[in-house]
Copies of this chain bind each other. A is one copy, B any other.
């Protein structure tokens, strides 16, 4: 009792060391530009060893993404716990999402790529499955918050949590997505179309709109 576990632990550590190295390389050069050779060198391992732990480059990328989702879910969970009222929980999660985007832009971009690629690719890997589950986990937290809001009447009674949660998720992701890809350019170059001074303001405005529809009854 112990040897197997130690081996298991070491294996996990090695795997993490590879992901550490891959993160540095992928995040600094971009998924496409980064090469497995560079990752191997950064990890101080042979290229062959990388393939011992990950099926291919994309699988390794998914492992990174999985980490990002962990961080995000932890932030969500914390946000959920931090507030009493349902509406406040939702708001806190929304803020946490924005915080995540700002603190971990690389992980956030990773998520965007994941989304975009998941259209074509369907890799049946442990990492692929994990990413899927962790994505659902986030949704679940949002759903719980909405449910809490319905229960404690901080949000409209005609709101259906199982419908609202995914919609909120989509709306918020869409906004942050836009921040990540277009916002700065629009803010700086196209003040005739976009009337924000910065990203903070845009998020604030968007979130207020969304929150508004959760709290006011249709007249």
- Where the two chains meet, the residues of A that have a C-beta atom closer than 8 Å to any C-beta of B are 30-33, 109, 112-113, 115-121, 132, 135-136, 139-140, 143, 160-167, 169-175, 177-178, 180-183, 185-186, 190, 192-196, 201-202, 205-206, 209-210, 212-214, 216, 218-219
Q: List 6 A-B contacts (CB under 8 A).
A: A135-B182, A162-B195, A170-B171, A170-B177, A212-B213, A216-B219
Q: Which residues of B contact A140 (CB under 8 A)?
A: 193
Taking A32-B117, A115-B181 as given, write out 13 further A-B residue pairs in contact, using a Cβ cutoff of 8 Å, ordered by the A residue number.
Answer: A30-B120, A32-B120, A112-B115, A119-B180, A136-B186, A163-B195, A165-B193, A166-B178, A166-B183, A169-B178, A171-B209, A173-B178, A177-B177
**In this complex, what residue of B is CB-closest to A218?**
B212
Q: Report the copy number of this chain in the oligomer.
A: 4
Q: How far is the CB of A212 from chain B (nearest CB, A)?
A: 4
**In this complex, what residue of B is CB-closest to A173?**
B174
Measured between alpha carbons, how far is A79 from B154 in the docked complex, in Å?
A: 36
Measured between alpha carbons, how far is A73 from B186 in the docked complex, in Å?
A: 18
Q: Is the CB of B120 within 8 A of A112?
A: no
Q: How far is the CB of A30 from chain B (nearest CB, A)?
A: 4
Q: Is the CB of B165 within 8 A of A206?
A: no
Q: Which residues of B contact A160 (CB under 8 A)?
A: 195, 205
Q: Is the CB of A163 within 8 A of B193?
A: no
Q: Is the CB of A163 within 8 A of B205?
A: yes
Q: Is the CB of B206 within 8 A of A171?
A: yes
**In this complex, what residue of B is CB-closest to A105?**
B119
Taking a contact as CB atoms closer than 8 A, the residue among B30, B132, B182, B210 that contacts A209 in the complex is B210
**Given A112-B119, A162-B194, does the pair A210, B213 have CB atoms closer than 8 Å?**
yes
Q: Which residues of B contact A132 (CB under 8 A)?
A: 185
Measured between alpha carbons, how far is A167 from B187 in the docked complex, in Å?
A: 13
Q: Which residues of B contact A180 (CB under 8 A)?
A: 119
**In this complex, what residue of B is CB-closest to A29?**
B120
Q: Which residues of B contact A183 (CB under 8 A)?
A: 166
Measured between alpha carbons, how far is A167 from B199 in the docked complex, in Å?
A: 11
Measured between alpha carbons, how far is A172 from B135 in the docked complex, in Å?
A: 20
**Given A210-B213, A213-B210, A219-B216, does the pair A202, B166 have CB atoms closer than 8 Å?**
yes
